[in-house]
Chains A and B, each alone.
Chain A
């Protein structure tokens, strides 16, 4: 049995609104699986169904060989959940939070204290173990929330947007921890809209949009499938910022995006565009500070798949789709 999760025909309606539309996928044992999508595309709804918090309208979920609808108990024992909001008890200390979770997950009494100490030391919270969590920073609460999710050594860990809002150091600590847990054999299901994070961490990613799986593959294969969103990145002096519209008018350029002091010119054919950019610089007396060709990033792939133009911020205004219930919702046919 190679799959940790097998999902088939999973569907969720909220009343008449379709949030998740007959999706099917597998997550292999021991992999970090990224679940990407725009806000409201159905990511969290799917994750809540996989973690027994939400009842599907249709479809089947098999986790570690157990049908979640019929036999959730053994699955819950092997599962850890880190939701988007750090759901720790702020009136309790870090130690009390961990002890409570250890009892809930039936960690043997003889192992609880040692396990809690190990986690608090790993997450840099040992010195604060007797401090009420209401005095913790957001990053500290996040770390504690993850410690609580893994105190019973789950074989499958669900993380919903683990790093947004954290400082760079806390985010790195959490990413390193995800890698370490995975190296120790834990399957990771990572729900995120942070594409670079998925690119850095995930063995495979699924992109969900409008409640449907739009693509599922390794990050590199997805990028390879979208060669048309290659680009040339150029920094010009002096006054390189003023040349964006002229660069966009060059033959072969589909879109231009300002990236700090550089311009990124999207094209299907970077080798033809490159000499044109150099010629443009020469004709206008500009110095080329840097010039690079870039393959498509996972973000480019994501934007292409979800129908958002590369480099252009599109406001999500679908009628009837509130923030919670989502961008991708459709009415029942």
Chain B
């Protein structure tokens, strides 16, 4: 029986959701995920923020940008090669759903983790340190869009044809650290030299940090709509190499 496009769309959404929920259940306690996804942003935050004069709100904005970035981008490079090694990825690839559905499901996993960890950071910041939130709606939108964008970034590395998560961790960590250090997270954009600021604009994390500044502090350098647009656009753009590399994997037999 041939199904209509609406039914097909409903099916694909349900399948992507099922993949995401399953991954959350299966991987949230895996050591690789805990280390690279849940603890790393806090390590980075405390490494570069202790003993510096910083208001609670400023700290919360920075920590939220870091958690969204590190946690969301950690899921893909860890989960997909591991599933390839265990053979469970074949189950997903053989199922009646499109590759894009599978990738969106995988992107949702990273986003779920990132939103969860960010929520913890936010609650601690607000309750324990009394940090005010200037624009809760913008904060919600920023967490959602930022999580999706950086999770899609992680999918690029997860799509590398390999069955060993270790092969992916090094290039993925290298890129994430590169994007972190050129961004405006540790040195505010307004304090950067023009050349450094131009480079900072190449990192999507710059826009996430600016968006968090708007949402938490009530002020940023760029307009929040531009930040959201860039994050959404870069997330969609990151899906393209992930699709292409999955096609290559299918030719190579991974």
Q: Does A76 contact B (CB under 8 A)?
A: yes
Q: Which residues of B contact A91 (CB under 8 A)?
A: 25-27, 29
Q: Which residues of A contact B88 (CB under 8 A)?
A: 87-89
Q: Closest CB of chain A to B75's CB: distance in Å? A: 15
Q: Closest CB of chain B to A47's CB: distance in Å? A: 11
Within 8 A of A (CB), among B1-24: 2, 11, 14-15, 18-19, 22
On whether A92 and B26 interact (CB within 8 A), knowing A45-B253, A79-B94, A105-B95, the answer reads yes
Within 8 A of A (CB), among B153-209: none
Number of interface residues of B (CB under 8 A): 28
Q: Which residues of A contact B250 (CB under 8 A)?
A: 53-55
Q: Which residues of A contact B95 (CB under 8 A)?
A: 76, 104-105
- Chain B interface mostly: helix
Q: Does A241 contact B (CB under 8 A)?
A: no
Q: Does B97 contact A (CB under 8 A)?
A: yes
**Could you list which residues of chain A lie within 8 angstroms of chain B, going by C-beta atoms?**
14, 45, 48, 51-55, 73-74, 76-77, 79, 81, 83, 85, 87-89, 91-92, 96, 100-101, 103-106, 148
Find A100's partner among B2, B22, B90, B251 (CB 8 Å cutoff): B22
**How many A-B pairs fall under 8 Å by CB?**
70
| Given A45-B253, A88-B88, 16 other A-B residues pairs in contact with their CB atoms under 8 A | A53-B250, A54-B250, A54-B251, A76-B94, A83-B90, A85-B86, A87-B86, A87-B87, A91-B29, A92-B26, A100-B18, A104-B18, A104-B92, A105-B95, A105-B96, A106-B11
CA distance A105 to B19 in the complex (A): 12
Q: Which residues of A contact B86 (CB under 8 A)?
A: 85, 87
Closest to A103 in B: B18
Closest to A91 in B: B26
Q: Closest CB of chain A to B53's CB: distance in Å? A: 45
CA distance A1 to B215 in the complex (A): 63
List, sorted by A's number, 14 A–B pairs whose CB atoms are closer than 8 Å.
A45-B253, A53-B90, A54-B253, A74-B2, A77-B96, A81-B94, A85-B86, A85-B87, A87-B86, A92-B25, A100-B18, A103-B14, A104-B96, A104-B97
